[in-house]
Structure 1
C-alpha cells in the first residue's frame, strides 16, 4: 500500500479538512466547488469549465475504474476526454481507490493526476464539506501539505478564465455546404462531436474572434469557465450577429453570453449547479428533463430585452436554464445537452439548431 503524505484543505472562513495527498504534491489555491455526479470523473476533470477550481466529489468512491486512453479520432479529438488536459487545480474525494479495473483503463487516477500536476486529496469527509459549501456558498480555498509551504488564497473569477482555455487560432472541420461557427469559450469535446456532420463545415473560433466576417449559416456559443461578464468582446460580436437573423444556439456560458447580448444581467450563484441530475422544465409546458450541469453564474431572465423570454427553468431553485427569442431563431440552454458525462435526454437541442440552418 502506498504511503501518503498528510495534507489539509483550508477554506477562507477558517474551516479545515485534513486528509492525504494522492496526486501531485504541490500546494494549490482556487475556488472550492462540489459536484454530486456519481460517475464520469474523467469527463468532469477534463471539462474546461472547472478551470481555476478545486473540485469536491460528493460520491464517496472515486478512481475505481481508472483512466481511459487519450486516443484521438480522425478529427484529432479525444474519444474519452472532454479536452486535452485536467482543468481543476485539485481533486478532493472521500475514498480514493488505489486499485482500478476497467477494460479501457490505461492508468490509475493518482498516476494521471501526478502526470498532469494536479493535487489529489483523499480521506476527507466530503459530505460535511459539501454541507459547508451549500450553507456558506462556494469559497476560496487552498490545499497545503503537512510541513510544506503556505500560499495565499486566490480568486480565479477575478481573471478572464475563458481567455485561458479558448483556442488561439481558427480550426475548421469538414467541408459541408452549411457553415456553422462555434465560438469556443472552453468547449467540451462532445459539443464539437455533435456538430461535426457531413453537411456541415464547422469553424471553431477563439472567444474574442470577430466571427461576423464569416458568411455563416448558424452560430453556436459554447460553455466555458469563470465570469461571463469578462467576455464583453464576445457579447459585442453576438449583438452584431443578432442583426443578421441567422440561427443562434448557446450552451451553458453560451446561454449567459446570448442573454447578455439581449440586455440581461448575469450574476454569481451561491454554489452553482454541478451534477448529473438537475430537473429542468420547459416553460409553458409540462415537459421536464433530467440534465447534466456545470456552472456558477445564472441569467436574471427578468432583465431580458423586448422580444426575449425564458425557455427553461430549474425546478430545484427556479433559476434560469435557457432563453429564446419570440420570433427569431435564437435559443439557448444553461444545461449540457451533450452531457458527457451525464444523461443525454436533451441531445435533441443540437437537432433543433441544425434543422434551422
Structure 2
C-alpha cells in the first residue's frame, strides 16, 4: 500500500462511536476530549448558540445532537459561557467543526472541548438520529472517542444500558454554586460589553438550581441587586437577606427529586408574600409547591424556535427551550392559572397566581431568540417589586 493510500485509510477510519442502549450504533470522527461518556441523548434545533448550550447547566447528564450542521464555525469566546465550565456531557454534529470565522472568537471549538474534557462526534446522520429520538423517546447512550478507532462495542452498549436516566435524579446539587455571591453584571451591549449595575432599585435573592449567567444579567439590567444562594438554601437563609423578590432559576434533572428539599423552601417563601419569578426548573418546582404535578416528556423541547402563546394577551413569542419535564396543567389548583402554552404541542409554558405577583415560565426569556420577545418578564418582576414598595 502506498503512503497516500495508507493516509486515506487512516483519515477515513472512524475515531468515535455513539452507542444507543437498544444496540444501534453510529460511527464518525471524534473531536475534543477522548474517552467514554454516558448520558441521555437529546436534540437541539437552534441555529446559533452552541457554546451557550454546552455551558447551560440545564443540560447536565445529556449529550446534545445539533440538528443545524454548521457547528463550530463561529468559534468560542469566554463572554458567551453561561457557567464556568461546560456541563453538557458531549455533542453530536453532522459536519466536523470548521475553523472559526468571527471577530469575537478567541478559540476553536475542538480545542475548547478538549481542554474542558467534553467529547464531540462529527459525520453523523443527525436527521436519522433526531427521528429516532422523536419516535422512541430520549435514549440512553455511550459516546466514545478513540484516535485509534478501537471500540469495545459490547461494553459501550452495556454502559448505555446501565445509565440510570434523569427521571428521579437530582442534578441541581451537582451544578449549583458552593456558596452565596453577589451579581452586578448587566446584559452585553454593542460597543460597550458588560456594564455594571451600580444603582439597583431592588434586592433579589436568586436560588441557583443551575442558573445561567445571562438570567442574572437580565435581573441586574432590570434594576436588581442579585444575591445568589445555593440550591439547598433554606427559607430562613433566603429571607435573612430581606429581599424585595425571590427568583427560582433553571437547572437540570427531575423537578420532583430536587423539589424534595426545594419545595418546602418555596412554600415558606410564598408565605412571606414576596414577588416570585421562576424559569424552567424553577417554574416546575414553583408548580409543585403550589400543588401541581410534573411529568417526563417523550423527547422534551430543546431549541430556539419554539412559538409560545401568552393566553392573556394573545401575543406569540419565539422562545428558547430546554426541558425534558413539563408541568401537567390539568393538575393546577384553584388560584393558579395557565398563562402560556406551546404552539407546537399545547404543553404548559407558564403559570401565575391570580391574587399575588407569583409567576413562572417554562422557556428561557434571557436567551433572546425573538430576540426581545420575552424580556418583559423581567420588567414584570421588577414592577411587582415596585408596587410592593
Q: TM-score of the superposition, structure 1-length normalised?
A: 0.93
- CA displacement, residues 107-164 of structure 1 (integer Å, 9 cap, x when unaligned): 1111111001110100000011000000011010011343245341213525321100
Shift of 1:177: 5.3
Which of 226, 229, 244 pairs up with 1:217?
244
The corresponding residue for 1:181 is: 205
Q: How many residues align?
A: 348
Shift of 1:5: 4.9
Q: Distance in 2 between matches of 1:243 and 1:41?
A: 40
- CA displacement, residues 197-246 of structure 1 (integer Å, 9 cap, x when unaligned): 59533110011101133321101111001111112211111111111211
Unaligned runs of 5+ in 1: 71-78
The corresponding residue for 2:193 is: none
Q: Structure 1 residue 139 and structure 2 residue 139: aligned? A: yes
Q: Are the aligned partners of 1:57 and 1:126 in contact in 2 as well (CA < 8 Å)?
A: yes
Shift of 1:21: 0.5
The corresponding residue for 1:195 is: 219
3-state DSSP of counterpart to 2:131:
helix
Q: Distance in 2 between matches of 1:23 and 1:302?
A: 44
The corresponding residue for 1:7 is: 16
- CA displacement, residues 47-66 of structure 1 (integer Å, 9 cap, x when unaligned): 11111111100001211111
Q: Are the aligned partners of 2:54 and 2:86 in contact in 1 as well (CA < 8 Å)?
A: yes
Where in structure 2 are the equivalents of 1:34-53 lying within 5 Å? Answer: 34-53=43-62
Shift of 1:173: 3.3
Which of 253, 271, 294 pairs up with 1:266?
294
RMSD: 1.9
Q: Are the aligned partners of 1:34 and 1:130 in contact in 2 as well (CA < 8 Å)?
A: yes
* Stretch moving more, 304-313 or 277-286: 277-286
Unaligned runs of 5+ in 2: 1-6, 185-197
The corresponding residue for 1:171 is: 181
Where in structure 2 are the equivalents of 1:34-73 lying within 5 Å? Answer: 34-68=43-77, 70=78
Shift in CA distance, 200/99, structure 1 to aligned 2, threshold 3 Å: closer
Q: Distance in 2 between matches of 1:173 and 1:114?
A: 29
Q: Structure 1 residue 349 and structure 2 residue 359: aligned? A: no
The corresponding residue for 2:253 is: 226
3-state DSSP of counterpart to 1:61:
coil
